[in-house]
Chains A and B, each alone.
Chain A
Amino acid sequence: MAWIRYAAAKVGRALFVIWAAYTLSFVLLFMLPVKAVDLLFDPQELMTISNATKQKVAAEYGFNKPAFVQYGDRLWAALHGNFGTSVQSGAPVWKAIGDVFPPTLVLAAAALALALAISFGIAFFAANSHHAWLVNFVEALPSATVSVPVFLIGLIAIQVFSFDLHWFPPLGDQGFGSLVLPMFTLAIPVAGPISQLLVNSFQRELAAPYVTTSLAKGGTRSWVISREVFRNASLPALTIAGITFGNILAGAVITETIFSRTGLGRLTQTAVGTKDIPVIQGIVVLTAGLYAITNLVVDFIYPILDPRLKARIAAT
């Protein structure tokens, strides 16, 4: 019963987040000081478009209805999976997003895997090395990667590995070769916060009494780290899954632009740039949904990894 209540609360929260994101995006877009119908026309020609024409077009798109009616119509349609069509291209929103989402998913998954590998590598190295200067150097890496802008990493990578060395193609998304540079470009800033957190929690855990106990019982340092410290130190990294998710999406906009890749990031940029309201709302709901699911998964994994939380839920 306690578990059902726990799950219901978490799922309910996730649904609320998605609804709130949808509603907030509608309110914000509606409050923009521009009429939706004006954005359909070329700005230079706007003044030559008669009001009668504008009204006819607005009626066709439903822009002439009161705001709350538009909201209701759109929400009702959205609940049925219909987010309308892109104002700019005319493509159904689900298709516009569906076409560009898989490449972004591949890029994001690859970058996340690489970022985790880098982060754990840095944390293990920092925990195991006996050379203080080396440890200091490695510990400085996370802040450095957070500080270097993604576009700079991307442009340098392209210049060196594509244009100079010809190892990887500079653009497009055909085959694994074209994934390598974008993957590294995106992974480096994503790895920053994760490795920062891991380095800290490894240090904290290594100083914990249970480590001393294990070592006193004869465990080797690497045995203790991989069997005990690793699991406990990983927990905090899970809590920033949401931040990681945001980092990947934000990084994807820039990475996809630099490497001329198809993807959600560029679609977002274009949709925001042209105020393509249906597409923006579709993307907002999708990202809010992914974000909510990520956090939901974390909420369910946490009690499994942390017996204290498990006990607390069971007790309620």
Chain B
Amino acid sequence: MTNNNSPTGSFSPSAARRPKRGYRRSRATRALTLAGVALVSVGVLAACDGSSSSSGSSSAVADATIPPSKVVSGASSALGYGSTPTTAAPVQGGVLHFGVLDAPEVIDPHEAGSYPESIIADNITDKLTWQDPVTGKLYPWLAASWSYNSSLTRFTFQLRHGVTFSNGQPFNAAAVKANFDQDALGDTKLQILPDPTHWTGYAGTLTPNPYEVIVEFSKPNAGFLTFSSFSGDNDPGFVANKTLQSSKTQRLIPANVIGTGPFIVKSFTYEQNVVLVRRNGYDWAPAPLAHDGAAYLNEVDIQTIPEASVRTGALESGQLQATLDVAPTDEPSLKSAGYQILYQPIGGQNIAFQLNADLFPTNDVDVRKALNLGWNRAALFGPVLSSSYRAAWSVLAPNVPGYVSFEKSALRYDPAAAEALLNSDGWKVGSGGYRYKDGKELTVKFLGINNLAPNQSAYELIQEQLKQVGINVELSVLPIPDFTAQQAVAQTKWNGIAANTSRDDPSVLWQADSPAVGNGSYVQPSSPEDQPLVSILQNVQSTLDPAQRAAATAQAQNELIAQYALVDPVYVPSQVIAANKDVHGIVFDAQSRNLFYDTWIGK
């Protein structure tokens, strides 16, 4: 039995390795994002604004007068994310008992995969930069400033002084190099796997002086700049030499997992909880966060509670102050009982079926277009999704810089247009209501993962609606390991595979969809889609000029959706927290991981 089969409907992944998460931003702020990218692109300029204020409170995003819960989730509350604004003064101390579905398997940040694992990583480490989850703008963190060459193969970071790991080791260029080398290349002797996905083309890190690092790549890697703030799987937060020299096994012991972050792992009881304790003396939070100095909470107790109804019950009976992985069906009753519902839709590449361009019948572009037009994305709201989720009007989540909506065009609900496409393509409706061509039924085989509660019902709705236009959808929604097994044979077996990839950068398209990289649609070198896609997705990865990058990203989405219909976006997933009204300042970062640095519990 998996949690996902439980009668109460658990919301999020049950297996250890699950798709990564991102964040979301409302459409109203899209223009702001472009502005944010503009600022980021002038790295040194952005850096100046933060390095001049190591106190952080003079940042453009947050200032000392903004109460904690209004920062990030405060910007969010203005956009309707549901955080309760407060004017009360933060309270020091206390323990936050925080419920999650998954049991962390590891506490080593670099090995983080599941959501709780990366929450732990997020709170015990710091990154070079901080990405604003709303605007996408990068702020200085452990890097005081940065610059890069025009071919985007050399990224230079000037490091902040005075930062230490919790065991006293100074944070400097040597520490960055040691971390990046192991992140990128792995160390199989220590059972540490390489991460070639995020570190594609990594050529090494130079340390010209103790507070300067130069990260080099063999080919352009525009996505690396935001990756320096990344908080998803294979978290690039920094750990001490003692951790880097420990084997994967030794890294299960909290004393061996040492970061520079505002919390330290105090205890790790498998399947039970992970307790984080405040690091006193911490004083290098990124400027956009609400305060300076050490965290407010004494401890954070991250408790694994597999059963959705027990998480909700534990919140209501006071055993938890907040819980992640709230079942969509529990949201309305919790809200009406006075609990805060905090959420942030997840960015990167949405939950979307990648259509197989190498397998009948999805090797036919008209069939693929009909699949996109033949079902109603808005109809998911109500029966399947709560208002904490967003409709997927593109392959990208709305917050990713360069997002373009196809709500009125290729992704509109237009069954008549879908039928017209199929008719003119020679697909005739047969006896059972499904279409046929040359004696073959129009059947598409779709594969999904059961790690998010809405998936199965969402796909069933698609199946039902596509039946109306004569397309037979055969559906398999499997646990992650079985999904992985099927993925290995997908090219010859599945017409569409649904998953999401979170990464708050348009490079996620290059990573997942370029025929030269992830090739999610199995585009063959001989096919007409191949060359245009390779080149336009390479453009996304080869420029940090905001206008050029936005144009390339728009063009990439247009090719993937309107022109070649290689993806069938389903919905924008969300991370949803329910918290009692005394909890303030839970921050969602750019990957929708939660930071408890600004969190405090009122009386």
Contact = CB atoms under 8 A, between A and B. Distances in A.
B3 A257 contact: yes
A48 B517 contact: yes
B487 A48 contact: no
Interface stretch (B9-17, B377-385, B532-540, B587-595): B9-17
A316 to B, nearest CB: 45
A46 interface: yes
A253 interface: yes
A171 B7 contact: no
B1 A269 contact: yes
Interface in B207-262: 233, 247-249, 251-252
Contact of B480 (A43, A100, A254, A258): A43
Nearest to B108: A90
Nearest to B273: A172
Interface stretch (A11-19, A50-58, A209-217): A50-58
Interface string B189-203: 101011011001000
A258 B310 contact: yes
A39 B481 contact: yes
Given A33-B489, A49-B197, A151-B6, A42 B271 contact: no
B227 to A, nearest CB: 13
Nearest to B191: A90
Nearest to B192: A90
B305 interface: yes
B504 interface: no
Given A50-B196, A90-B247, A85 B304 contact: no
B270 A100 contact: yes
A266 B103 contact: yes
Interface in A147-166: 151-152, 155, 158-159, 162-163, 166
Nearest to B348: A44
A57 B487 CA distance: 19
B272 A262 contact: yes
B408 to A, nearest CB: 29
A42 B2 contact: no
Given A48-B518, A275-B481, A155 B307 contact: yes
A92 B517 CA distance: 35
A152 B2 CA distance: 15
A250 B303 CA distance: 24
B303 A262 contact: no
Given A258-B310, A260-B305, A269 B2 contact: yes
Contacts of B512: 44
A90 to B, nearest CB: 3
A100 B105 CA distance: 13
A156 B569 CA distance: 39
A155 B480 CA distance: 26
B484 A38 contact: yes
Interface in B290-321: 303-307, 309-310, 313-314, 316-317, 319
B249 A90 contact: yes
A46 B501 CA distance: 12
A60 B487 CA distance: 23
Q: Most chain-A CB neighbours within 10 Å: which of B200, B483, B518? A: B518
Contact of B303 (A35, A171, A173): A171
B501 A273 contact: no
B36 interface: no
Interface in A236-275: 253-254, 256-263, 266-267, 269-270, 273-275
Interface string A265-290: 01101100111000000000000000
9 contacts: A38-B488, A39-B481, A44-B512, A48-B196, A60-B188, A90-B191, A155-B309, A261-B271, A270-B16
A40 to B, nearest CB: 6
A273 B106 contact: no
B479 A273 contact: yes
Contacts of B499: 43-44
Given A151-B7, A158-B313, A262-B271, A45 B2 contact: no
B286 interface: no
B3 A47 contact: no
B573 interface: no
A258 B485 contact: no
A40 B488 CA distance: 13
Nearest to B195: A45
B188 A56 contact: yes
B485 A89 contact: no
Contacts of A34: 481, 484-485, 488
Given A38-B488, A48-B517, A155-B309, A273 B2 contact: yes
B106 A89 contact: yes
A251 B489 CA distance: 35
Nearest to A90: B248
B468 interface: no
Shortest 8 CB-CB contacts between residues of A and residues of B? A90-B248, A34-B485, A60-B188, A45-B197, A89-B105, A275-B481, A43-B484, A48-B197
Nearest to A43: B484
B137 interface: no
B472 interface: no
B50 interface: no
Contacts of B14: 273
A89 B310 contact: no
Contacts of A43: 17, 19, 449, 480, 483-484, 487, 499
Nearest to A52: B196
A170 B103 contact: no
Nearest to A152: B7
Contact of A163 (B248, B271, B305, B316): B316
Contact of A262 (B269, B317, B500): B269
A2 interface: no
A88 interface: yes
A306 interface: no
A49 B193 CA distance: 11
A53 B269 contact: no
A259 B305 CA distance: 8
A274 B480 contact: yes
A73 interface: no
A263 B7 CA distance: 22
Contacts of A162: 313, 317
B519 interface: yes
A41 B193 contact: yes
B374 interface: no
